[in-house]
Amino acid sequence: MFSVSLGEMKEFMRNFHSEMRKGLAGEKSSLRMLSEYVKKPRGTESGIFLGLDLGGTNFRILLLELTGKRKTRILSSSKFLLHKKHMTGAGTALFDFLAACIKSFTDKYKAGIDRKYRIGFTFSFPVKKRALARGILIRWTKGFRARGVEGKDVVLLLNESLKRKGLRCAEVVALANDTVSTLLARSYEDPDCDIGVILGTGTNACYCERAGEIINIEWGRFSKLRGTPYDKAVDRLSINPGEQLLEKMVSGMYLGRIARLVAEDLPGKGKLPGEFKSEYMSLIESDSSKNMQKTKNLLKKFGMPDPSYSDRKLLKKACSMVSTRAARLGAAAIASVITRMDARLLKKHTVAIDGSVYEKHSGFSRKIKQALKEIFGKNTKNIRLVLTKDASAKGAAILAATAAS
């Protein structure tokens, strides 16, 4: 039920290519294929730029120097915690808080120099881009509900707050999501990088289309998939039934939910918690302790005092089955994008990847690489997967540099 054969991965790729073509042509498609109004950096951009990253409860600010020779240097960075009042109160209060954080940061690091700060802003919420520095918030996610922001240009809102705080020397000149920033962060240093991927709580990717423009795929929406009864149950109980179907099979938010439903159908089943997290799956899959004692200790916390060794082994198999399918689907999606750009895989391609599932889930990156080897054989040598951690703020600063060049 959870196996993904080589033939199924190739069928996935054919369907994915079809959806990509439709999306680029403006036809109905499960892939949005949104222009980000930006191209890859040349590597010659230079100067000092500010990068911002807002995508959760932490607001990150980075001061980055670009040498113009594909090298960067982080001059300073800070992280500010958002409280519930910022996330659920008035939108003006949220953006005024962000502006106050920026003022505190620049006051500390400009050392009396009246520098003009050009700012790149990674804003990881659903946005309709109208230009490089114009993005309309479609809807809040991740627990944010700040009033008066949906349907508004978030760049304009932040620039207005900067002016209210007296920061006339700072201006947001570019907006991106986290996939674009991941691609930019790596591609400034590596000219072969042409794909940015997020494999974490959610999943998405962007790539360089043939004209050089970066396209945000929104691949979590891909729907041409063979689901199981467990996937259908997870989808039915989600806040967005019928949407984000690939994301619900691949991302960290959902892997644990699928594994929990599978475990309920196993012999000797116990009651796993409603929020069975993907981190628990990873711990169980990687458990090489004697008699799987780590798994036994974990299950005790869930009120299962004496699960048998065979039950623990069966649970490990179930978790591995769910994550292996996720990795193979992720590999098929990556392969689809690479072959869109380079059908015969004649060039080198670096895939910049960020996200907790790729970085931390036991065996996940290895399984993706193995699946790519099955698809491409010896040509896999032209594909390089690179973990690009904490790229959002750095990529935003590089984005500001591309806007200035």
Which tokens go with 326? 């996720």
The answer to whether residues 258 and 234 touch, using CB atoms and an 8 Å cutoff, is yes
β-partners of residue 197 are 205, 353
Q: Which is the catalytic residue, given 71, 79, 85, 142? A: 142
SS3 130: strand
Which tokens go with 366? 């290895």
Residues in the chain: 405
SS3 103: helix
Which candidate, 133, 146, 132, 163, places its Cα nearest to that of 59?
Answer: 146
The answer to whether residues 125 and 137 touch, using CB atoms and an 8 Å cutoff, is yes
Which candidate, 159, 99, 111, 95, places its Cα nearest to that of 133?
Answer: 159
Separation between Cα atoms, residue 233 and residue 241, nearest integer Å? 10
Give burial (CB, 10 Å; 0-12/13-18/19+) of 136. middle
**Residue 145, C-beta contacts closer than 8 angstroms, at least 6 positions apart:** 87, 88
Per the annotation, the verdict on 71 as an active-site residue is: no
The answer to whether residues 347 and 382 touch, using CB atoms and an 8 Å cutoff, is yes
The answer to whether residues 352 and 186 touch, using CB atoms and an 8 Å cutoff, is yes
Which tokens go with 86? 């910022």
Separation between Cα atoms, residue 388 and residue 49, nearest integer Å? 20
Which tokens go with 239? 């806040």
Q: Which is the catalytic residue, given 178, 194, 231, 311? A: 178
Per the annotation, the verdict on 296 as an active-site residue is: no
Q: Active-site positions?
A: 142, 178
